[in-house]
C-alpha cells in the first residue's frame, strides 16, 4: 500500500498509508461486536500495510482505543501512527448517558460502561490524554485531535464549546507538541466551515474531516481544502462513504450521515452508480479514488468490523478508475467542476 511521509511545519514526520484505519465501528457503533473478530480486524489492517490508526475516547467510551492498542502493542511502535482525540473525559463511576435527540452525532450500541463528559478545558484535555495512555498502554500518541467542536455535536452550545476548546484544549495540545510528546495536533470534525475557522485561528498540523468531501458532496472544496493547502495542513478524510450509502449503494435502509438516506440522496447515488457501471467501476472504488485525489489529502480513513472488510477496502483502494468516468460525472452535474480527480 502506498505510504506518504507528511512533514509538519515544525519538522515532525508522519509516515501514513493512503488508506488509514478508522476505529469508530470498533466502539460498537451500530452493534456489539465479537471481541475476537474486532481484534482480528485490527491485525488485518496492520498486515495490509496500514500505518495510520485513528481512534477516540468517544468510540465506545474508550473501547475502540483499547481494542486497537491490544493488537498494536504486539508490533514495533515505530511501525504505526496512532491518532486519538480529546474533548471527552470518562467517568467510570457515573451511569452511561443516553444520546441526546437535539444533535446529530451518533450514540453507540455498546462500549465500556463509563459515562462520557464533554470537557475541552486545559485540565480536561490533559486528563483525557492521560486516560488514553492508560487504555492503550502507549508512552506517546503521535496525533492528537480536538474532537467534535461543531454544531453537528453541540447544537446551540457550539460557540461556547469552540471558545473553551481554543482557550483550553488547543493550549494543552500545543504544549504537548512543544515537549515532543505528540508529533502533530489538529481537529477531528464534521463541518467544513468550522474546520476552516480552526485553521484561521490556530496553528494546526492536521485535520480529520468526516463526510464533507466525498463523491456525493464536496462542500469542503470551496474554502477548507484550499486553506489546508495554503497552510500546509495534512488532511485526513473520514466518512468518504457518507456513513454507508456510497459503500452499499442506494439499497433499502442505506445510511446517509448516520440516518436513513432521504430520497433525493438515494436518487443522486443511483445516478452516480449508473455512471460507474457504464465504466465497469465499483461505486466504492470510485468513492475512494475520488477522495484520495485531492492534493491536500494525505490519507483516507476507513472503518471495518471484520478482517475481510479490510481486505475489500484495500482492494477497492487499489482499483484502476478510468479518467472518462470523472468527465462523465462532471458532465452530468454529479461532481463539482473544479474537483481534482485522479490523473
pLDDT in tens, 319-331: 999 999 999 999 9
pLDDT given at position 334: 97
What's 250's DSSP letter?
S
Confidence of residue 4 (pLDDT cuts 50, 70, 90): very high
* Mean pLDDT of the region 75-86: 98
**Are the CB atoms for 161 and 118 separated by under 8 Å?**
yes
What's the CA gap between 173 and 55, in Å, rounded?
A: 17
Out of 57-71, 107-121, 211-225, which region has the weakest mean confidence (pLDDT)? 107-121
**Are the CB atoms for 300 and 219 separated by under 8 Å?**
no
Confidence of residue 156 (pLDDT cuts 50, 70, 90): very high
Q: Beta 3-7 vs 13-17: how paired, if at all?
A: antiparallel
Residue 99 has pLDDT above 80, yes or no: no
pLDDT given at position 105: 57
**Are the CB atoms for 29 and 106 separated by under 8 Å?**
yes
Task: State what percent of residues in the chain have pLDDT above 90.
Answer: 92
> Active-site residue numbers?
54, 59, 85
Confidence of residue 285 (pLDDT cuts 50, 70, 90): very high
Reading the block at residue 296, the C-alpha cell is 491536500
Confidence of residue 98 (pLDDT cuts 50, 70, 90): confident
Convert the pLDDT of each residue in 233-284 to its tens digit.
Answer: 999 999 999 989 999 999 999 999 888 999 999 999 999 999 999 999 999 9
More confident residue, 30 or 71: 71
Q: DSSP E strands: which ranges in the chain? A: 3-7, 13-17, 19-22, 52-54, 81-86, 88-91, 115-118, 143-147, 184-189, 206-210, 234-238, 255-256, 259-260, 297-303
Amino acid at each position: 500500500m502506498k505510504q506518504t511521509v507528511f512533514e509538519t511545519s515544525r519538522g515532525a514526520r508522519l509516515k501514513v498509508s493512503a488508506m488509514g484505519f478508522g476505529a469508530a465501528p470498533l466502539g460498537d457503533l451500530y452493534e456489539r461486536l465479537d471481541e475476537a473478530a474486532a481484534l482480528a480486524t485490527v491485525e488485518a489492517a496492520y498486515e495490509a500495510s496500514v500505518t495510520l490508526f485513528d481512534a477516540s475516547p468517544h468510540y465506545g467510551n474508550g473501547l475502540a482505543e483499547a481494542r486497537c492498542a491490544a493488537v498494536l502493542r504486539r508490533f514495533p511502535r515505530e511501525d504505526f501512527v496512532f491518532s486519538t482525540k480529546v474533548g471527552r473525559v470518562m467517568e467510570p463511576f457515573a451511569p452511561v448517558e443516553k444520546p441526546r435527540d437535539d444533535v446529530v452525532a451518533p450514540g453507540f450500541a455498546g462500549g465500556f460502561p463509563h459515562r462520557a463528559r464533554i470537557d475541552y478545558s486545559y485540565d480536561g484535555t490533559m486528563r483525557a490524554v492521560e486516560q488514553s495512555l492508560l487504555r492503550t498502554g502507549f508512552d506517546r500518541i503521535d496525533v492528537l485531535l480536538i474532537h467534535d467542536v461543531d454544531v453537528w455535536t453541540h447544537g446551540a452550545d457550539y460557540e461556547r464549546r469552540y471558545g473553551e476548546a481554543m482557550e483550553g484544549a488547543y493550549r494543552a495540545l500545543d504544549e504537548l507538541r512543544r515537549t515532543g510528546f505528540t508529533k502533530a495536533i489538529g481537529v477531528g470534525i464534521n463541518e467544513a466551515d468550522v474546520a476552516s475557522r480552526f485553521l484561521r485561528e490556530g496553528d494546526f498540523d492536521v485535520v480529520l474531516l468526516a463526510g464533507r468531501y466525498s463523491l456525493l458532496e464536496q462542500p469542503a472544496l470551496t474554502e477548507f481544502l484550499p486553506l489546508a493547502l495554503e497552510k500546509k495542513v495534512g488532511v485526513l478524510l473520514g466518512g468518504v462513504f457518507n456513513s454507508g450509502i456510497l459503500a452499499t449503494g442506494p439499497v433499502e435502509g442505506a445510511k446517509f450521515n448516520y440516518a436513513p438516506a432521504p430520497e433525493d440522496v438515494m436518487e443522486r447515488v443511483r445516478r452516480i452508480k449508473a455512471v460507474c457501471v457504464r465504466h465497469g467501476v465499483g461505486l466504492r472504488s470510485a468513492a475512494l479514488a475520488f477522495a484520495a485525489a485531492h492534493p491536500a489529502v494525505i490519507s483516507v480513513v476507513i472503518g471495518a468490523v471484520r478482517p475481510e472488510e479490510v481486505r475489500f477496502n484495500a482492494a477497492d483502494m487499489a482499483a484502476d478508475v478510468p479518467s472518462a468516468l470523472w468527465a462523465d460525472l462532471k458532465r452530468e452535474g454529479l461532481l463539482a467542476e473544479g474537483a481534482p480527480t485522479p490523473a
